[in-house]
Amino acid sequence: MFVPALVSAAATAATTAAASAPIATAATLASGYAAYSGAVAGNKAAEYNAKKLEQESAMAAEQGLQAEAQQRAKTKQYVGAQRAGYGASGVDVNEGTPLEVQADTERIGELDALTIQANTSRRVNSLNLAASASRASKTNPFLAAGSTILTSMATRFVKLPKLGAGAGGVGDFNINSGVSSIA
């Protein structure tokens, strides 16, 4: 028996499906382009951040060298002040306790300078590592676009069975029969 309403509904469904395919394809391509553009922008930001971190690293190294030199100069000034104080008191500064005090002051001052050097080195290394990590975070824009397009196409054109959540849904496992039912 010929039913015109069924034929009309089938024709409408076929026409709708045929009309929506180009729209879906265009949307997929647009998503791929957006992924590509996003990856390019992300890569530019990562490179910018890496360059800024490298600049900060160079500044930290320079500041560390200056702080280290200032510490050594301060130590020399302090030792000079000690020598002047002992000399004003009429004590020989080149032997005995005054000499030991000066030597201790020089050792402690050098230890402070080396601590500044080590801290600077750690800071510079940390900034350089962060710059490398920023560069490593870059993604290939073509891979980003391709994976987006393929994923979109797969979800539109490949209908995979969904695992059910119980109550006799698709992919449920029947404990009594030991057979998995996939509808």
Task: Tell me what pLDDT residue 183 has.
Answer: 47
The pLDDT value given to residue 149: 87
pLDDT tier, 155 (very low <50, low <70, confident <90, very high otherwise) = confident
CB–CB of 97/103 below 8 Å? no
26 domain-assigned: yes
DSSP 108: H
Q: Is residue 178 part of a domain?
A: no
Number of domains in the chain: 1
Give the C-alpha separation, 146 to 137, whole Å. Answer: 18
Q: What is the pLDDT of residues 96-108, one digit of tens each?
A: 999 999 999 999 9
What's the confidence (pLDDT) of residue 182? 52
| 127 part of a folded domain | yes
Classify residue 165: in a domain, yes or no. no
Is residue 112 in a domain? Answer: yes
For the purposes of burial, counting CB atoms within 10 Å of the CB of 145, is it exposed (0-12), middle (13-18) or buried (19 or more)?
buried
4-88 and 141-157 helices, crossing angle to 10°: 150
Confidence of residue 120 (pLDDT cuts 50, 70, 90): very high
Q: How far apart are CA 41 and CA 36, in angstroms?
A: 9
Q: How far is CA 1 from the centre of its chain?
A: 67
Closest CA to 30 of 154, 159, 148: 148
Confidence band, pLDDT 50/70/90 cuts, at residue 24: confident
Q: Looking at the predicted structure, is the pLDDT value of residue 160 above 70?
A: no
pLDDT of residue 125: 97
CB atoms closer than 10 angstroms to residue 87: 12
Residue 83 lies in a domain: yes
What domain range is 51 assigned to?
A: 20-159
Residue 54 lies in a domain: yes
More confident residue, 68 or 30: 68
Residue 2 pLDDT greater than 70, yes or no = no
160-177 mean pLDDT:
54
Give the list of residues 6+ apart from residue 140 with CB closer than 8 angstroms, or none: 39
Whole-number Å distance between alpha carbons of 1 and 11: 17
What pLDDT sits at residue 18? 56
- Dmax over CA atoms of the chain, in Å, equals 131
Question: For residue 48, is it within any domain?
Answer: yes
